[in-house]
Amino acid sequence: MKSLADAVFPAEVFSLPLFHGISETGRTALVSSGWLRTCSFEKNQTIYHMGDRVSELGIVLSGSVFVENTDLWGNRSILSKITPGQVFAETYAFCREPMMVNVTAAEASTVLFFNLRNLDQTADGDDAWLSQLRSNMLRISMQKNLTLSNRIFCTTPKTIRERVLVYLAAQSAKTGADTFTIPFDRQGLADYLNLDRSALSKELGKMQKEGILEFHKNKFTLRHPYL
């Protein structure tokens, strides 16, 4: 017989990193208490607006979402792309501070929302599954800090070429290969690196002619990963 948790949510939901090591008792409590909900979004639909106060973190189940900043002149910078299994808005949900970013669906996506306010208000703080859940959230938060730090490294260099090479070298190191696929199209990469798209495309063309790299769409081969 299926448990309540398995009956309400597909099994892959509880294989997510946030729920690693959570007991059957814990999964049932999360579902029966209404801590979890799912919602689907169309491409470019806004999930959270800048200025929102949120109590729910989101976990991408399918598709992907952008965490982005838009300045007063309408210029967009992508801070990160969140793919299936990854979490967003957890810091704002923890701290109850207004969102300083927008979160939008990069494509048709399904998101699992987890209400952290319930976690604060529960009286069962000594339950083993709650301790495990808090430990999982801390680990995820630390990993997100590393992701944001990596973007700072990529946008610090002054020239387009330096930014591109820092980013691609990091992707090469992450995958352990000279050939790899990045999670952005050309506009997305430009927004992530805080560059003009046409200028980025022009520089990539120069770098390919010089034999530094090869690329087709979002697949790259890095020939000389160092500046």
Task: Please give the sequence-ordered ranges of beta strands (E in DSSP) within the chain, or none if there are none.
Answer: 36-41, 46-48, 56-62, 65-70, 76-82, 87-88, 102-105, 109-115, 179-181, 213-216, 219-222
The confidence score (pLDDT) of residue 195 equals: 93
Q: Phi, psi (5° rounding) for residue 78?
A: -85, 120
The confidence score (pLDDT) of residue 143 equals: 85
- Supply the DSSP symbol for 189: H
The confidence score (pLDDT) of residue 1 equals: 38
DSSP letters spanning 146-176 = HHHHHHHHHHSSSSHHHHHHHHHHHHHHHHT
Per-residue pLDDT of the chain (227 residues; tens, 9 = 90+): 345 555 567 777 888 999 999 988 888 888 888 889 999 999 999 999 999 999 999 999 999 999 998 877 778 888 889 999 999 999 899 888 999 999 999 999 999 999 988 776 554 555 788 888 889 988 988 888 888 888 889 999 999 999 999 999 999 998 999 999 999 999 999 999 999 999 999 999 999 999 999 999 999 999 865 54
Question: pTM score, two decimals?
Answer: 0.75
Residue 22, Cβ density class (10 Å: 0-12 exposed, 13-18 middle, ≥19 buried): buried
Strand order in the sheet with 56-62: 36-41, 109-115, 56-62, 87-88
